[in-house]
Amino acid sequence: MRLEAQSLVLGAAVALIVAETLVILWLLLRRSARRRTKFVIEERLRFEALLAELSAGLIHVAASGIDAALERGLRQVGTFLGVDRGSVDEYVEGGPSVRIAWAPPGLEEPPRVMDSDQFPWSAEKLRRGDVVRFASKDELPEEAVIDRASFERVGTRSKVSLPLRAGGPMLGVLSFGSVRAERAWPDELIERLRLLSEAFAGALERKRMELALGERLRLEKLLSSLATAFSHLSAGDFDREVQRGLRQVVDFLGVDRGSLIEFSRDGRAAHSWAIEEWMDADEFPWMTARLQRGDVVSFSQLEQLSDEAAVDRQSYLKHRVKPQVAVPLLVGSTVVGGLVFSAASAERATSGELMEQLNLVGDVFAHALSRKQGELEARRLRQELTHIGRVSALGELTASLAHELNQPLTAILSNAQAARRLLDVDVVNLQGIREILNDIIDDDKRAAAVIHRLRLMLKKGDLEFVSLDVNEIVSEVAWLVRSDVVIRHVSMSLELDTDLPRVRGDRVQLQQIVLNLVLNSLDAVRERDADDRTLVIRTTKNGGPAVVVAVEDSGIGIDEKDTERIFEPLYTTKQDGLGMGLAIARTIINAHGGQLEAASNIHGGATFQFTLPVDTEDAP
């Protein structure tokens, strides 16, 4: 009985001890669970606080500092999660991606998960907007066999990648990975990483927008600079400004070479300009033919060229060109040239944004080429008209020129006849023959000088702006008209300043102007009595950096209402005039940087005078 009681007491004690132990264990487990829950909650709060801090910080970072801010964020999150590597791969369709990566010292950067050659399965899932995650490579499906081998090769044991989107196309990929141990990526962590990816995506989108805006402003500044430089560009300054403009575009695009090709009206490559090394257009017949048809020629690798471009391919290899883009320059439907930009340092894809920029730049160069071609055509027509004016002016000197030539020719004939008579005598007077021959030589030189001056006045060709002596030009014209002055019974005098500085201009054109003004004055004094017909050609300094040439006559003068109208094309006060001489003269003087004016004299007659800038290159 006592034993049974003792057993019961012992059993009750044991049961009590067990119960107390279970209660203690339950309390310990509950406490541990509470601690674990508290730790999880605290960790979640810390992570969420970290996310809030990163998100708030990214909002106020300038576009230029976003990459550095994202790198700091990767380091903070990677350290918090205890992973080995983190990266943000900014994705650009058709172009090179931008990488922002973090890894502890001693570890290599993670591979680019959007590389379709190494990770085709992962890249496709990310493009569709799916998350790629695995705690172990064994979790990867069979279709990811290439990805598994690539992850094995770079030592990745666990990885998570999330697409970065900001309401539009994919901006990039956020990735974290582990190489030293496997780790799981639970759904709740993925949700928190989504918040991080949204903050990173927003920062990337803002960076792109700000950079795009800055790029647009830079482009508009470039276009404005080019348009301003080309708007009032003369053909003489065209080469220098085009070189400067090409340099600006090359620097803007970040390429190595830039070239401008000009096509003539018959489609030939008439002229070209280049930055760095220029490649002769004849070396690239396929590209040139495509441009002339109005096609864009673009490639990032030489392998993309067709078999028809075999000659071009060899030339590209010769000049070490990898990517290139060439755009035709059109004015209306006419191809006036082409812009060619290339790089020798790296392969580069052509984006839609780049083509838009090139088209806008091309419009500026196209209109510059068109204006240049129009100006050259107008200059050619002016030169033709000016030549016609010279021929017409010399036509008025027919009698004078005939007299100038008849005098030496008559003397040559007389001397030749005298020499023949001397040779017919028995004793030849050698000294007399020698003197006659010397006279014949002198007369021949006189006739040759007249013809030479005529040829100079009648010649056609490009303008030759050289340093000139104005007094010499005036004297040559005076010599040319001296016989005509005598025939018309006009008293002509020269009043030339012997201390004149030299000017820069085209000798033939300036001679034409002086001749035209002199002939006009000879016509103007025709109505006067012979004793009152005077003509004075005067050269002076105007007190400034210019030389003045004045032709003063005692003719009928100029009606006040005609003072300016006489310089208008096709307006004339002569019965047999065409109204082109003075218009041509003013155009020539304006092209030389001077002014041509007319006024009536107080005591009758008129004075025409023009100014020419002093040649600064010749000035002491």
Q: What is the pLDDT of residues 520-547, one digit of tens each?
A: 888 888 888 878 889 999 999 877 788 9
Residue 162 pLDDT more than 90? yes
Residue 403 pLDDT more than 60? no
| Burial of 8 from C-beta contacts in 10 A (0-12 / 13-18 / 19+) | exposed
Lowest mean pLDDT, pick from 143-152, 324-333, 382-391, 537-546: 382-391
The predicted pLDDT at position 453 comes to 58
Backbone φ/ψ region at 138: left (φ over 0), alpha (ψ -120 to 50), beta: alpha
The predicted pLDDT at position 130 comes to 92
Structural element, H or E, at residue 177? strand 170-178
Encoding tokens for residue 338? 């082409």
In the chain, the percentage of residues whose pLDDT exceeds 70 is 77
Lowest mean pLDDT, pick from 31-35, 227-231, 614-618: 31-35
Residue 407 pLDDT more than 80? no
Q: How confident is the model at residue 438 (pLDDT cuts 50, 70, 90)?
A: confident
Across the chain, which distance is largest between two alpha carbons, in Å?
199
Nearest to 525, CA basis, from 565, 572, 484:
484
Amino acid symbol at 1: M
The predicted pLDDT at position 158 comes to 92
Lowest mean pLDDT, pick from 382-396, 405-419, 543-557: 382-396
The predicted pLDDT at position 391 comes to 57
Lowest mean pLDDT, pick from 78-87, 101-110, 237-246, 405-414: 405-414
**Per-residue pLDDT averaged across 152-178, rounded?**
89
Q: What whole-number distance in Å separates Cα of residue 243 and Cα of residue 470?
A: 35
**Per-residue pLDDT averaged across 179-196, rounded?**
88
The predicted pLDDT at position 469 comes to 92
* Pairing, β 297-299 against β 324-331: antiparallel
Domains of the chain: 61-212 (3.30.450.40), 232-369 (3.30.450.40), 461-620 (3.30.565.10)
The predicted pLDDT at position 122 comes to 92
pLDDT in tens, 118-138: 899 998 999 899 999 999 999
Give the range with max mean pLDDT: 191-195, 291-295, 548-552.
Answer: 548-552
Residue 160 pLDDT more than 90? yes
E runs forming strands in 357-514? 465-468, 491-496, 503-506
Q: What whole-number distance in Å separates Cα of residue 248 and Cα of residue 254?
A: 10
The predicted pLDDT at position 41 comes to 61
Report the DSSP beta bridge partners of residue 551: 537, 608
Q: What whole-number distance in Å separates Cα of residue 482 and Cα of residue 384?
A: 27
Give the range with max mean pLDDT: 101-105, 411-415, 463-467, 492-496.
Answer: 492-496
Q: What whole-number distance in Å separates Cα of residue 199 and Cα of residue 193?
A: 10
Give the range with max mean pLDDT: 41-45, 387-391, 592-596.
Answer: 592-596
In the chain, the percentage of residues whose pLDDT exceeds 90 is 10
More confident: 383 or 322: 322
Q: Whole-number mean pLDDT of the chain? A: 78
Q: How confident is the model at residue 355 (pLDDT cuts 50, 70, 90)?
A: confident
**Per-residue pLDDT averaged across 150-171, rounded?**
88
Q: How confident is the model at residue 569 (pLDDT cuts 50, 70, 90)?
A: low
The predicted pLDDT at position 174 comes to 92
Amino acid symbol at 345: S
The predicted pLDDT at position 389 comes to 56
Residue 9 pLDDT more than 70? no
The predicted pLDDT at position 471 comes to 92
| Burial of 491 from C-beta contacts in 10 A (0-12 / 13-18 / 19+) | middle
The predicted pLDDT at position 455 comes to 61
C-alpha dist (Å) from residue 212 to 206, 217, 236, 354: 10, 9, 37, 12
The predicted pLDDT at position 572 comes to 60
C-alpha torsion 24→30→32→33, nearest 10: 160
Structural element, H or E, at residue 40? helix 2-59
pLDDT in tens, 198-253: 888 888 888 888 888 888 888 889 888 888 888 877 766 788 888 888 898 888 88
- Helices and strands of the chain, counted as H and E runs: 14, 17
**Per-residue pLDDT averaged across 147-167, rounded?**
90
C-alpha dist (Å) from residue 193 to 57, 133, 457: 17, 12, 88
